[in-house]
């Protein structure tokens, strides 16, 4: 991903990433360590045996290239494998290691998650590697892991242990880590629903047509002064994207949100900016097919544009990847909202869209979108939810994920069968709530 000049100190960068990993329960307090190799070759690494919930910036250990160590604590006992990875991969500048539960499940089954579950997962993580077991902290473990990284993997599952990811900076290593854990979780949930469908190499490697391309840059324009309404919508989009991240409806690398500004314009989240740290300036204005100068919109931009053109009552669209609803997107099992009245009233009939249509120019997808049935499940590509406002779209997205989770739990509880509300109950709901 493109980045501005990096002015964050390694101590603060490590603190931030560790806070996120701990807060979203991707490690226990004793497990996990992060490191950065800086521009002069010094390492900065989390300390051994310090509570991850109360880590302070001065606890981060500075290990100089000459081997001398600065800090109130010894460095993580896994320093040997961090060193081995940096030696094997001169391009690596940041490493994340932890024991997140879904990837540990794969690790103890001697498997790796197939990242061809979703195109984004493949593009961000590549194919995950696997390193055989060795004693924690040992040179042998370092050698096993470094060998897998040397062969080209950026994400490596450790047998009976956990996972390590590396990147050209710590943010990239974190994004791979989070995306791989999300992929693992989704595969586990999908396995409870039936056979899991994966993309082939060609599909998984294909970039959506609307993604930025050097050959055909979209026309751009310099917008005039922003109206109060535009400012309000920018603020709302940032707030709801952050909420979507915090509620685990999006992860740092996946998800798009837009809102209609007027007949010919809408605002949309940018391409590849961490969903947890978005600010209103980063949101992209799109007017009659041209994008605000100097910004790159989400790859969903053409789909959203075609939908706004064809559906005047739709005022907001979100593409998201909540684990449970995404599990339905990777299996043939139908997500049926006739479970409880709230689900039916908010979601109506959920339709499934074959892989390829959302990756097209948007026109076919716009024809299949409607405000009456606001949710579409994209095969192996998450979900799309429409609303009459940003809040309405977000609200439906939350109901969708709750419905999907309740269904999966119901299947697990009752050997694959749940009780759906019968037609008479649906007619009664239609009448009482004025649904057509």
Give the C-alpha separation, 341 to 327, whole Å: 23
Which residue, 17 or 237, is less far from Zn ion as judged by CB?
17
Strand partners of residue 379: none
The residue nearest Zn ion at its CB is 162
- Binding segment toward Zn ion, per CB under 5 A, in 5-13, 158-166, 334-342, 379-387: 158-166
State the nearest-atom distance from the C-beta of 99 to Zn ion, in Å.
6
Question: What letter does residue 313 receive in the DSSP assignment?
Answer: T
Binding segment for Zn ion (CB under 5 A), chosen from 157-165, 237-245, 266-274, 389-397, is 157-165
Query: Which is closer to Zn ion, CB of 93 or CB of 161?
Result: 161
CB of 85 to Zn ion, least distance (A): 14
Question: What is the Cα–Cα distance from 383 to 353, expressed in whole angstroms?
Answer: 9
- Gap between the Cα atoms of 310 and 300, Å rounded: 16
Residue with tokens 């922003």: 226
Stretch near Zn ion under the rule CB under 5 A, chosen from 3-11, 122-130, 154-162, 393-401: 154-162
Q: How far is the CB of 62 from Zn ion (least distance, A)?
A: 21
Closer to Zn ion by Cβ: residue 95 or 118: 95
Complex with Zn ion: residue 145 or 190, whichever CB lies closer? 145
Beta carbon of residue 335, minimum distance to Zn ion (angstroms, whole number):
36
What burial class does residue 173 get, using C-beta atoms within 10 Å of its C-beta: 0-12 exposed, 13-18 middle, 19+ buried?
buried
Q: How far is the CB of 49 from Zn ion (least distance, A)?
A: 13
Dihedral angle sign, alpha carbons of residues 244, 2, 117, 376:
positive
Q: Interface with Zn ion by CB under 5 A: which range of 162-170, 233-241, 280-288, 360-368?
A: 162-170
Residues 6+ apart with CB under 8 A from 107: 157, 158, 159, 160, 161, 162, 163
Stretch that binds Zn ion, among 111-119, 156-164, 241-249, 406-414 (CB under 5 A): 156-164
Helix axes 101-108, 170-191, angle to 10 degrees: 70
* Per-position x/- string for 109-148, each x denoting binding to Zn ion as judged by CB under 5 A, each - no binding: ----------------------------------------
Helix (H) or strand (E) segment spanning residue 174: helix 170-191
Helix (H, G, I), strand (E, B) or coil at 163: strand
Q: Indicate the residue among 132 and 194 with the shorter CB distance to Zn ion.
A: 132
Beta carbon of residue 78, minimum distance to Zn ion (angstroms, whole number) = 6
Span near Zn ion by CB under 5 A; candidates 161-169, 260-268, 372-380, 383-391? 161-169
DSSP calls for 339-352: TSHHHHHHH-S-EE
Exposed e or buried b per residue across 126-158, where buried means at least 16 C-beta atoms within 10 angstroms of its C-beta: ebbbbbeebeeeeeebbebbbbbbeeebbbbbb
Nearer to Zn ion, 162 or 362 (CB): 162
Q: In the complex, what is the shortest distance from the CB of residue 108 to Zn ion, in angstroms, rounded to a whole number?
A: 13
Q: Compute the least distance from the CB of residue 136 to Zn ion, in Å.
A: 6
Question: Residue 7 or 135: which CB sits closer to Zn ion?
Answer: 135
Count interface residues toward Zn ion (CB under 5 A). Answer: 1
Tokens at residue 328, please? 């339905």
Site residues (vs Zn ion, CB under 5 A): 162
């Amino acid at each position: 991903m493109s980045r501005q000049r990096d002015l964050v100190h390694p101590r603060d960068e490590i603190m931030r990433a560790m806070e996120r990993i701990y807060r979203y329960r991707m490690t226990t307090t004793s497990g996990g360590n992060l490191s950065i190799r800086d521009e002069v070759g010094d390492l900065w690494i989390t300390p051994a045996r310090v509570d991850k919930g109360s880590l302070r910036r001065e606890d981060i250990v500075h290990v100089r290239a000459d081997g001398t160590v600065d800090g109130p604590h010894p460095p993580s006992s896994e320093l040997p494998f961090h060193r081995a990875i940096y030696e094997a991969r001169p391009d690596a500048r940041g490493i994340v290691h932890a024991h997140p539960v879904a990837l540990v499940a794969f690790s103890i089954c001697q498997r790796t998650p197939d990242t061809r579950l979703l195109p984004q997962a493949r593009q961000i993580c590549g194919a995950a590697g696997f390193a055989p077991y060795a004693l924690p902290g040992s040179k042998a473990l370092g050698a096993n892991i470094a060998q897998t990284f040397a062969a080209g993997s950026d994400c490596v599952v450790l047998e009976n242990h956990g996972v390590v990811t590396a990147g050209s900076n710590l943010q990239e290593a974190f994004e791979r880590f989070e995306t791989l854990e999300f992929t693992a979780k989704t595969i586990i949930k999908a396995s409870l629903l039936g056979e899991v469908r994966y993309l082939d190499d060609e599909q998984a490697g294909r970039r959506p047509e609307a993604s930025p391309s050097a050959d055909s840059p979209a026309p751009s324009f310099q917008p005039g002064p922003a109206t109060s309404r535009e400012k309000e919508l920018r603020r709302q989009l940032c707030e709801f994207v952050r909420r979507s991240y915090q509620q685990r409806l999006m992860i740092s690398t996946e998800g798009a949100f837009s809102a209609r500004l007027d007949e010919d314009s809408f605002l949309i989240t940018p391409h590849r900016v961490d969903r947890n740290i978005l600010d209103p300036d980063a949101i992209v204005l799109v007017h009659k097919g041209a994008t605000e100068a100097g910004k790159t919109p989400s790859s969903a931009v053409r789909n959203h544009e075609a939908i706004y053109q064809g559906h005047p009552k739709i005022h907001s669209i979100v593409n998201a990847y909540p684990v449970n609803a995404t599990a339905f997107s990777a299996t043939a099992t139908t997500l049926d909202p006739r479970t409880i009245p709230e689900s039916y009233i908010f979601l109506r009939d959920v339709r499934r869209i074959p892989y390829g249509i959302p990756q097209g120019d948007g026109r076919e997808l716009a024809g299949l979108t409607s405000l009456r049935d606001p949710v579409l499940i994209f095969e192996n590509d998450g979900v799309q939810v429409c609303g009459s406002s940003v809040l309405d779209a977000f609200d439906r997205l939350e109901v969708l994920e709750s419905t999907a989770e309740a269904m999966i739990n119901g299947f697990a509880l009752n050997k694959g069968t749940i009780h759906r509300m019968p037609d008479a109950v649906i007619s009664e709901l239609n009448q009482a709530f004025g649904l057509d």
